[in-house]
Structure 1
Amino acid sequence: MDVLVTGAHGTVGTAITDHLGDDDRYTFTLLDIEDVPSPHETVVADIREYDEIRPHFEGQDAVVHLALIPGTGGPDSRALTWNTAQAENLEALHNVYEAAIDAGLDSILFASSNHAVGMVEAKNAPEVYHDRGIVAGHEEPHRPDSPYGLTKSYGEDLGRLAAEAHGIRVYGLRLGTIRNPEYDHPYGDAEYGVDEGRWERGSDAYEKWVARMKGLWQSRRDLAQMVACCLDDDSVEWDHFYGVSGNERRWLDDLDHARETIGYEPRDDGEQWDGPPE
């Protein structure tokens, strides 16, 4: 299977190629705004420019769309402001979907986010990090917590239109917390804060970030497995799945649906860790 990955050199893209790059089932083409040495074919293009990206969709079976325009704001920015970067990001979404449809691809995997339903967390923190009664199930409607989350909701809805109107399979991956290899564990965000001098290990702030990540963490190998499950699937028309590991305290909870629909069986659980790696 030939797979194009946009924004391929970022945290999520490298998780895919680190764990699936040697899998004979897939041949990856990595598309990004800058060239980075890689054993896989790499092409340089700006997803804001349709004519730049369109040729690279030829001959592909699927696209994994990860690229995000810099300056779109983060999930912690809840001011209802709009800027050029956000508008360009939506235009880029249209470019990717249009190119995939025009080139006759079988499927699109869209990197959505937990922030598409993030108001569940915002309204219930910090209890949501400990109370298994507070969950966003598979049928949870869009509840974006920021303009960032709003763009992810839009991408999911655009995908549904593409699927139902044009017959391409679309998978929205509502990703939780995925980190680079050195922080790929449920203490990762807390340890990063220590390394940055923001707080001390064992402080209230440290423990808060541990509790949060133990629910939202998706290990790099579990993320890659979820991507593989979607790439191998031929039954879904349009659907979304929460990108988390099998965390006991997860508040994004559609694991049964993901297991039954695409065969996702996460290997990791935040509760398996009682401290950061030595």
Structure 2
Amino acid sequence: MARQNRTVIREGGGFPGRPFEFEAATALTGFPLMHGVTRRFGGVSKKPFDSFNLGLHVGDDIEGVWENRRRLAKHLRVGPEMLTCAQQVHGVQISEVTQDKVGAGAFQMDKAIPDSDALFTNLIGVPLLLLVADCVPVLVYDPNHHAMAVIHAGWRGTIGHVPVLTLEAMGNAYGTKPEECYIYLGPSIQYTSFEVSEELADTFRKASRIPDQIVGYRYRADKGIQTPRVNLQQFIVQDLRYLGVPLQQITVSATDSMTAPACYSYRREYGKTGRMALFAMLTERR
């Protein structure tokens, strides 16, 4: 497994009250790239979306979400109209962000890039945004071609190898080589919390390269039985390693969104909750 001790919590200030926070990978801090996964505090949304909800589609007050997005945009030193988003469908569709797509979905969900769970670009100063609340947010940075991708990997996207497909798309578009990339897997539901059915566990066993690293069992005291769990992060790491990404270039967050109070969790909060954002933006090389 990739090391889990290479993340840091940072703040995006400049507003009244508590600043918003985000987790970032320290391995990426030396590159011309702004990135992170936001946490749930430091915004204006009311319960149950309190308070830095960035999802326009969850039933939150739209004006509040716009204000939260403005705060994120200010941290990135861009206008909020630049935020570029996707209509995520828990699939494996990938879209390149070209100039004509910049700002898609910044203020309206129905204007976001349709049917996409991964976005990639080599445009400078264009922030990409994907929303999560237990699914695995994956950031890819290619320093040699100064290109990047953001990926939303739920269990369907994970088992469908969407990170691998994204790297292949970047290779076709820019010449990206997996062995030259740096990868960050952000806060998401971890193995100990991701209880699944026997049927889904078996599906992961069949799809995995090393099943014993992906599927296991944990005791549930309330049921008095062992129940299956799946390690989404390790499945993705296996895929990346098979593709040629060096282990030392993969950062995996240790934050479990299901148990961390600073995270939104769809599973913990029975679907009525906000969304964190994986954000990334290329800056000028110096």
Alignment TM-score, normalising by the size of structure 2: 0.33
Bigger relative contact order, structure 1 or 2 (CA pairs below 8 A, ≥6 apart): 2
Bigger strand share: 2
